């Protein structure tokens, strides 16, 4: 994504990431090679590796980044006849969100509080 070598930053490898990923410190020679990711996107989720080379060796470390996506607008509806003795389905759908969505139904009005 981005590299610093011989007093120069190389950051033109991936057009979609250009201008979004930069070194935190303007001078990585100081020993700080931290990475800023601007305008985070869900597609930025993944494993990132930092590799530091200095004679005579190489050190590397991997970090897992999980970008969270809030749930999309929830759509609710009722299917079926709302009559005593009939079956009804209460629908609740949200198309996206991470990590995996969970749903919690509660009765919030009426005489009995039901889970």
Q: Is the pLDDT of residue 33 over 70?
A: yes
Domain limits, the chain: 3-65, 69-106
Question: pTM for the full model?
Answer: 0.63
* CATH 2.60.40.10, domain 3-65, yes or no: yes
Tell me the pLDDT band of 102, cut-offs 50, 70 and 90: confident
The predicted pLDDT at position 64 comes to 96
User: Phi, psi at residue 44, to the nearest 5°?
Assistant: -80, -10
Burial class (CB in 10 A: 0-12, 13-18, 19+), 48: middle
């Amino acid at each position: 994504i981005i590299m610093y070598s011989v007093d120069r930053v190389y950051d033109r490898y991936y057009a979609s990431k250009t201008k979004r990923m930069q070194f935190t410190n303007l001078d990585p020679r100081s020993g700080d090679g931290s990475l800023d990711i601007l305008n985070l996107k869900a597609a930025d989720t993944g494993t990132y590796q930092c590799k530091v080379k200095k004679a005579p060796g190489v050190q590397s470390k991997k970090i897992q980044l999980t970008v969270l996506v809030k749930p999309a607008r929830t759509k609710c509806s009722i299917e079926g006849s709302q009559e005593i003795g009939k079956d009804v389905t209460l629908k609740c759908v949200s198309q996206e969100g991470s990590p995996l969505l969970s749903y919690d139904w509660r009765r919030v009005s009426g005489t009995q509080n039901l889970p």
